Amino acid sequence: MKSTLCLIGNFITLNFILLIYGFSFHVYAEEFPGKKGNWKGFESYEFEVGKRPCRVAVPLRVAAGKPWVWRAVFWGHEPQTEIALLNKGYYVAFISCSDWLASPQHLKERDEFYNFLTEQYGFSKKPVLLGMSRGGLCSLRWAIANPEKVSCLYIDAPVCDFKSWPGGKGKGKGSSGDWQQVLKLYNLSEEEALTFNGNPVDAIKPLAERKIPILSVCGDSDDVVPYEENTKILAERYKNWDAPIEVILKPGIGHHPHSLKDPIRIVDFVLKNTTK
């Protein structure tokens, strides 16, 4: 009898400690559709929503409120931040839309994925958005259209203006094929694209009004998505509205660098700014 009471007492104490630190007291219960696998030591699922490939990685123990990180593109690239957050009880989710380049159709498919996870699986209504490179354009444009559905944004060498990339209308290399895709998907002529005011650098005000925290990690000599044409402009305009944005600028790194080797600053930003 004493041993049984002792076990019950230890169980209650353990769960109380977990709740203090923001974790739910149960190991995840749900199973997702599709193929079950393993990603970086965590159970993962591959399935489709709206005929688009999707993935979800599941923490061993789910944090209170079922928070999640929503990666826009390039699943598995520089995953250290997501691994750390999985260990903190966050889900990591992904829908493959890189070829849609944040077009209206892309935003619609992101809406479907968001509704699927929040309505059917009870995920937090305010995910953390993670956008690398063109994923920055995806995450920012969806957040601007849905500012009430965002905890915070971590963007990394982000495209904030498609004239810079893939347009190559500044000092960056650009991508002619992707530029033609932009014109097609947005139904714009070249002239119309050059005056389009729906890029994040021009349309960031809805996020600023809600004071949504943003962290951007960039290289100061990025020759693909130049800092001066993207994050620098975005950050200056965001600060003009007295909205919170932090920029980690990595000096002397060419090409198109991503993330931080030690993601602690990114992880701390996410933990501090997750809305439960």
> Could you read off the pLDDT of 151-203 as tens digits, one per residue?
999 999 999 999 999 999 999 889 999 999 999 999 999 999 999 999 999 99
Comparing 45-49, 64-68, 76-80, 101-105, the range with the smallest average pLDDT is: 76-80
Residue 276: what pLDDT? 65
Measured between alpha carbons, how far is 114 from 108 in angstroms, rounded to an integer?
10
Residue 100: pLDDT band (50, 70, 90) is confident
Residue 30: pLDDT band (50, 70, 90) is low
Residue 136 covered by a domain: yes
Residue 191 covered by a domain: yes
Residue 10 covered by a domain: no
Residue 9 covered by a domain: no
Helix axis angle, 104-120 to 176-185, nearest 10°? 80
Measured between alpha carbons, how far is 61 from 236 in angstroms, rounded to an integer?
39
Confidence (pTM): 0.87
Residue 13 covered by a domain: no
CATH number, domain with residue 37: 3.40.50.1820
CA of residue 45 relative to chain centroid, distance: 18
Taking residues 69-83, report their average pLDDT. Answer: 91
> Could you read off the pLDDT of 209-255 as tens digits, one per residue?
999 999 999 988 888 999 999 999 999 999 999 999 999 998 877 66
Residue 7 covered by a domain: no
Helix extents (H) in 25-126: 80-86, 104-120
Residue 52 covered by a domain: yes
Residue 73: what pLDDT? 87
Which domain covers residue 52, as residue numbers? 23-273
If one counts the domains in the chain, the total is 1
Measured between alpha carbons, how far is 77 from 128 in angstroms, rounded to an integer?
17
